[in-house]
Structure 1
Amino acid sequence: MQKGNIGVTTENIFPVIKKFLYSDHEIFLREMVSNAVDATQKLKTLAAQGDFKGEMGDLTVHVNLDKDKGTLTISDRGIGMTADEVDRYINQIAFSGVNDFMEKYKDKANAIIGHFGLGFYSAFMVSKKVEIVTRSYKDDAKAVKWSCDGSPSYTLEETEKEDRGTDIILYIDDDCKEFLEKARIESLLNKYCKFLAVPVAFGKKTEWKDGKQVETAEDNIINDVEPLWTATPSQLKDEDYKKFYRTLYPMHDEPLFWIHLNVDYPFHLTGILYFPRIKSNIELQRNKIQLYCNQVFVTDQVEGIVPDFLTLLHGVIDSPDIPLNVSRSYLQSDANVKKISTYITKKVADRLQSLFKADRKAFEEKWDDLKLFINYGMLSQEDFYDRAKDFALMKDTDGKYFTFEEYKTLIKDNQTDKDGNLVYLYANDATEQYSYIEAAKAKGYSVLLMDGELDTPAISMLEQKFEKSRFTRVDADIADRLITKDDEKKNELGEDESAKLSEVFKTQMPKIDKAEFMVEVQPMGENGQPVLVTQNEYMRRMKETSKYQPGMSFYMQMPDSYMVVLNSDHPLIKRVLDETDKATADALKPVEAELRGQEARLAAINQSQSGKKDEEISQEEKDDKANTQKAINDQRAKKTQILSEYAAGNEVVHQLIDLALLQNGMLKGQRLNDFLKRSVDLIK
């Protein structure tokens, strides 16, 4: 019997493993099973080369749980080890500068294990004692047993073992009892070992018998040794890909389509990437790509391996060029990873391009699910925009699809303003903005439907990409001013009449939280709406953009800015003006006369003080000007009061305002209730 100390430069090795690997301690099982699979694969290689001539037999790796004994055992029938090999591979851990190691690798379990070849020693994260019972495949090899209780001391002695291979027996520590639970081990095997290349058995299959689940004699194989991504694409059918997707994501809708990756140079990469159906909720869709190394699960945190927008894809990537000890710093610096990222981007773009060219109708049918993904790609990666601009689509409110170039050709004749800018009109809710859309269509304009989660930032991006172009939402202004032409209609009402109308409606606008209303009078034709509410494009866009860009949150605190446009051509507006004139003429006459007199006096004072410096104007003159301005303000307030008192009792004014608010989804609560009652009364 051999006794000794493991070859390390400090006795702190096990506390270090416990402490700094603890946050990721579940990976011990991945390491144990992976080692068993490696040993089995090596035996297969020796047999293929003729260096092992014995019977290989059943090569299944077995994981056995004994809750009573407190052990978890991983057994293989691979190449096994001799006593010398145990001494060389297990006892001689080349450690130096443990303090530097602790500082550099704290909280990075994968990095520690991979960097120092500590795969086996991850067992001590969860075990108070570990035993290895092993027998080499070599002729006349004797079985040996290695035992260590978590200190640098170990024992190595001969033992009995009938068959070749290795048993790793973990005596689970008291603070890690979760790893003696069948469900916990099942979940870890399913997570890390689901696609290992050698069968892995955990317990026995069960069946219903006499009203209860009973074990059968058949091993419960937990993995698929030949997952779909290792197969030749030409031999696979669509249903094979869909079935594999259901295996990976049982609760998801069927994918739109997929890409089968298979690269041998300049790096090795296989995998299948699926395009899921995504309309919104980007964050919920992330981290659905599983990264494997030779069929061993590594991580589903693939940022850095694939571009950010491709993290919306689902599926599997397997590359031996990305080791198990993957870490963020490694990913950011590794040349192979950057090549892989570039390759995947190109492959995705090529696939989308080929689908578009091969069957445009089918591509258009998928567009609503694809749009979010493609917008995200164009926004986040410059080179993807350059690839995507030829197959990215725009959809109008009639459900027709256009490429960027096709749509530009469609609208350039009718939607170019007087300054030569091409104006793209859009709506983001075809139902709520229906009347605005119809008004734009009546002028021969085309309207895009931009109702996606990322359409607001996409619009800003396209304005930068497209030459002399701007995007305007259909409710940003009246139809006649959405695209300014030289033949703009003139308002036939005088300034006083327009001001009076504006005052009547402005005084009756409701107080709505975080909303500001301004009123103006414009001719919109007899068939146009009598009152229309529009929203400033710039401010609305800034508020929407602030949701995506940090540092712009102050826009969210600002009130929404609305313009209430009164159609001076409409009979109802003319009627309101006429009735207002008749009802308020007597009351306004002395006020307006006084107002005109004071305004004339103020003009004369300003004329007399024109060109004078402040110190050349006497205090008496300054007081006279201030008093005159106050008198003007008082008369204006009186005028507003008279118009407001009249308007308060004018049901047509209230009905027109409420109809405009209703059209914009802004009529609620008591105001909506009053509108309904008034509507019934007007019908009687």
Structure 2
Amino acid sequence: METFEFQAEVRQLLQLMIHSIYSTKDIFLRELISNSSDALDKLRIASFRDKDLEADLTDLHIEISADPQQRTLTVRDNGIGMSRDEVVELIGTIARSGTAELLKAVQDNTDVRALIGRFGVGFYSTFMVADRVTLITRKAGEPAGVRWESDGQGSYTIDTVDGLPLGTAVTLHLKPEDTQDNLHDYTSEFRIRETVKKYSDFISWPIRMSVKRDGDSGEASEVTETLNSMKALWARAPEEVKPEEYQELYRHLTHDWRAPLETVHMRGEGTFTFEAVLFLPAQAPADIFMRGSSSGIHLYVNRVFIMDDCDALMPSFLRFVKGVVDAGDLSLNVSREILQQDRQIKAMRRRLVRKVLASLGEMRAKDAERFAGFWSELGRVVKEGLVTDPDHRDPILDIASFASTHDSDSTTTLAEYVARMPEGQEKIYYLTGSSLPVLKQSPHLEGFVGKGYEVLLLCDPIDEMWVERSDFGGKQLQSIAKGQADLGTQSEIENQEVFTALVAWLSEQLADEVREVRLTSRLTESPACLVGEEFDITPMLQQYLRAAGQGFPESKRILEINPAHPLVGALREKHAAGPDADLAETARLLLALAQIAEGMQPNDPAAFTRAMAGRLTQLMTR
């Protein structure tokens, strides 16, 4: 026997389990049953892949037994089991990342019930009701088993045990305070039945318990009863399924304590059939932007579990969708490689994606507020499909919502934007940038908003990737920060010829920083702004590419100045009187102000700071 110390974070977590979420202690049984169900699924898959694996598949089940006298509760399965190394990794430590995040959330008073399970800590919930937990297990294919035991106070023991049956048994030595009454006594048949019915009725494996029943002769005898219905929820008609049943299936699949935002129950028929229940979460999963985050689709074939995380059924831009797909015509002995090439899988994927996108469209039409909550959480992920999945570009654009200058409190679809376009407007105008507050204050908006043109405000990094050379309904999307503004010709700028000398001088002074300097009609309040040519890479995209270690051709931008602004007028008069060092410094300040206005930093921040400090000093000491 060996004794190990828990990691520091695990010790904190145990105290959290014992003291902070005591009011929701029923979930410990759900977590143990879910673990057992996973073990049974894994044994069946392992036996398909390894024909020499010695495993009896004739009666796979979960068994619950209680001893009121000894105050113990045991959950046992004859599933895949665990090796000694797996016990150390999965039970002795927390294998998944995120424990620190969980503890911080608790310190910040986040609802712990919404977090339990998201970080792989379900097993530790047993210490809410037990002052000692014993686990014995033997993995399929291994001769010896393992015994793990802990009182949750900081250490645990592991020992090798011979002669164990295949599978895992977890025994909880219950705390004495749980004897108050049947409602809180987990050795009570009533309490066990109610908890299993509430949380695990849909589990596809039988959950059994031996109970005493009076026979015809009046003498009590033990009989084994199955506690769950084992009905595949996805095989039933939607009207036959209660909302709480959907919610429990969602919790079982995701360990998310919140209810799903939307449930999609569908059946595919034709040359092949399948059934599916899909869930859209109310909040973005913690790992949604982590490399290798799982898709969360569980694949079954004729009620037989095949694999979780079946990424062949759901594209990466819908990786937040969780659920079950049960195919009727696939081989049980399938691999991920086969699934990637399977024609039926590809057809199912298309139908599933269309259904999810259609459901989002219906949600937006019927409940704009609920859709807005979804889009703020996961819209950035959905828009990835505009880059990665051209086959679904149009339906994604149909539901995509964007901030715009039309209404600062709500978003708009492209269809709604087009419907509001004034007569004569031929393009859909947009502006990209680092954040919504920066975009709303951008000088690029001034002329367009002044002429009654609505502008989309795009601040998600993915927007930089898809919006170039895109169109909707035959109307091209056009950046207002590129090319010449189509708000009037240069001849309409009053007295433009009097600025010719100034423009030429500025172009020479700023030649190292900008491609050219020109007058503009796009500004009404600001003195200057920076724009690019039609096919230039935007500054934000340059930042993203640079951060990703990718090279790109460097290009200078164009400085546009507003001839109607007092500062530009004063520059013209100063230049006419004879350029000097003070005027040259002002020219560079003008460029720096244009850079700051679009959320960038000046080329030389230190020089900008010195120049501004000098100008402010002059102003204050006049």
- The normalised TM-score by structure 1 is 0.53
Contact 1:427 1:451 in 2 (8 A): yes
Corresponding residue for residue 528 of structure 2 = 531
Task: Give 1:669 deviation, angstroms.
Answer: 3.8
1:525-559 Cα distance to aligned partner (Å, 9 max, x none): 995322322233421259949979xxx997x4322
Task: Give 1:328 deviation, angstroms.
Answer: 3.6
Corresponding residue for residue 596 of structure 2 = 662
Corresponding residue for residue 355 of structure 2 = 347
C-alpha distance in 1, partners of 2:55/2:239?
A: 32
Identity across the alignment (%): 18
Structure 1 residue identity aligned to 2:418: K
Corresponding residue for residue 207 of structure 1 = 174
Task: Give 1:448 deviation, angstroms.
Answer: 0.6
Contact 2:250 2:279 in 1 (8 A): no
Corresponding residue for residue 59 of structure 2 = 40
Task: Give 1:330 deviation, angstroms.
Answer: 2.3
Question: Is 1:261 the equivalent of 2:266?
Answer: yes
Distance 1:654 1:60, change over 3 A: closer
Contact 2:300 2:324 in 1 (8 A): yes
C-alpha distance in 2, partners of 1:441/1:334?
A: 51
**Would you say how many aligned residue pairs link Structure 1 and Structure 2?**
441
Which secondary structure does the structure 1 equivalent of 2:492 belong to? coil
C-alpha distance in 2, partners of 1:171/1:529?
A: 75
Structure 2 residue identity aligned to 1:256: L
Q: Which of 112, 135, 142 matches 1:172?
A: 142
Contact 1:526 1:571 in 2 (8 A): no
C-alpha distance in 2, partners of 1:233/1:491?
A: 68
Corresponding residue for residue 215 of structure 2 = none
Task: Give 1:39 deviation, angstroms.
Answer: 1.9
Which secondary structure does the structure 2 equivalent of 1:172 belong to? coil
Gaps of 5+ in 1: 1-25, 43-58, 69-167, 184-199, 417-421, 584-642
1:185-240 Cα distance to aligned partner (Å, 9 max, x none): xxxxxxxxxxxxxxx862434423699xxx98999999734475456533445454
Question: Is 1:407 the equivalent of 2:399?
Answer: no
Question: Is 1:368 the equivalent of 2:335?
Answer: no
Task: Give 1:521 deviation, angstroms.
Answer: 3.4
Structure 2 residue identity aligned to 1:475: A
Corresponding residue for residue 291 of structure 1 = 299
C-alpha distance in 1, partners of 2:469/2:423?
A: 23
Corresponding residue for residue 492 of structure 1 = 495
Larger-Rg structure: 1
Distance 1:395 1:414, change over 3 A: farther
C-alpha distance in 2, partners of 1:268/1:467?
A: 37
Task: Give 1:344 deviation, angstroms.
Answer: 1.5
Distance 1:324 1:506, change over 3 A: farther
Distance 1:35 1:367, change over 3 A: farther
Question: Is 1:248 the equivalent of 2:253?
Answer: yes
Task: Give 1:450 deviation, angstroms.
Answer: 1.9
C-alpha distance in 2, partners of 1:670/1:247?
A: 56
C-alpha distance in 1, partners of 2:82/2:381?
A: 48
Corresponding residue for residue 575 of structure 1 = 570
Which secondary structure does the structure 2 equivalent of 1:281 belong to? coil
Structure 2 residue identity aligned to 1:319: A
| Aligned ranges 1:109-128 → 2 under 5 Å | none
| Aligned ranges 1:54-453 → 2 under 5 Å | 62=78, 172=142, 180=146, 202-208=169-175, 224=203, 225=205, 226=230, 229=234, 232-250=237-255, 255-263=260-268, 266-275=272-281, 277-278=283-284, 281=289, 283=291, 285-293=293-301, 297-319=305-327, 321-381=329-389, 383-388=391-396, 390-397=398-405, 398-399=407-408, 400-416=410-426, 422-428=427-433, 429-433=435-439, 434=441, 435-453=443-461
C-alpha distance in 2, partners of 1:373/1:349?
A: 13
Contact 2:250 2:256 in 1 (8 A): no
Distance 1:367 1:181, change over 3 A: same
Structure 2 residue identity aligned to 1:536: E
C-alpha distance in 2, partners of 1:469/1:67?
A: 60
C-alpha distance in 1, partners of 2:350/2:521?
A: 54
Q: Which of 460, 469, 472 matches 2:476?
A: 469
Which secondary structure does the structure 2 equivalent of 1:569 belong to? coil
Structure 2 residue identity aligned to 1:656: L
Which secondary structure does the structure 2 equivalent of 1:425 belong to? strand
1:265-318 Cα distance to aligned partner (Å, 9 max, x none): 632434333356459737565422232345554334423334454444223323
1:2-30 Cα distance to aligned partner (Å, 9 max, x none): xxxxxxxxxxxxxxxxxxxxxxxx95575
1:101-158 Cα distance to aligned partner (Å, 9 max, x none): xxxxxxxxxxxxxxxxxxxxxxxxxxxxxxxxxxxxxxxxxxxxxxxxxxxxxxxxxx
Q: Which of 471, 490, 505 matches 1:503?
A: 505
Distance 1:38 1:60, change over 3 A: farther
Q: CA RMSD in A?
A: 4.8
Task: Give 1:257 deviation, angstroms.
Answer: 1.6
Distance 1:663 1:542, change over 3 A: closer
- The normalised TM-score by structure 2 is 0.57
C-alpha distance in 1, partners of 2:469/2:239?
A: 39
Contact 1:36 1:61 in 2 (8 A): no
Task: Give 1:437 deviation, angstroms.
Answer: 2.6
Which secondary structure does the structure 2 equivalent of 1:573 belong to? helix
Task: Give 1:255 deviation, angstroms.
Answer: 4.1
Structure 1 residue identity aligned to 2:419: T
Structure 2 residue identity aligned to 1:40: D
Structure 1 residue identity aligned to 2:610: D
C-alpha distance in 2, partners of 1:655/1:453?
A: 29
1:57-112 Cα distance to aligned partner (Å, 9 max, x none): xx9854698999xxxxxxxxxxxxxxxxxxxxxxxxxxxxxxxxxxxxxxxxxxxx
Corresponding residue for residue 671 of structure 1 = 607
Which secondary structure does the structure 2 equivalent of 1:272 belong to? strand
Q: Which of 513, 517, 520 matches 1:520?
A: 517
1:585-607 Cα distance to aligned partner (Å, 9 max, x none): xxxxxxxxxxxxxxxxxxxxxxx
C-alpha distance in 2, partners of 1:426/1:350?
A: 28
C-alpha distance in 1, partners of 2:537/2:496?
A: 30
C-alpha distance in 1, partners of 2:298/2:246?
A: 16
Which secondary structure does the structure 2 equivalent of 1:565 belong to? strand
C-alpha distance in 1, partners of 2:388/2:459?
A: 19
C-alpha distance in 1, partners of 2:147/2:446?
A: 65
Contact 2:298 2:307 in 1 (8 A): yes
Contact 1:531 1:656 in 2 (8 A): yes
Distance 1:238 1:476, change over 3 A: farther
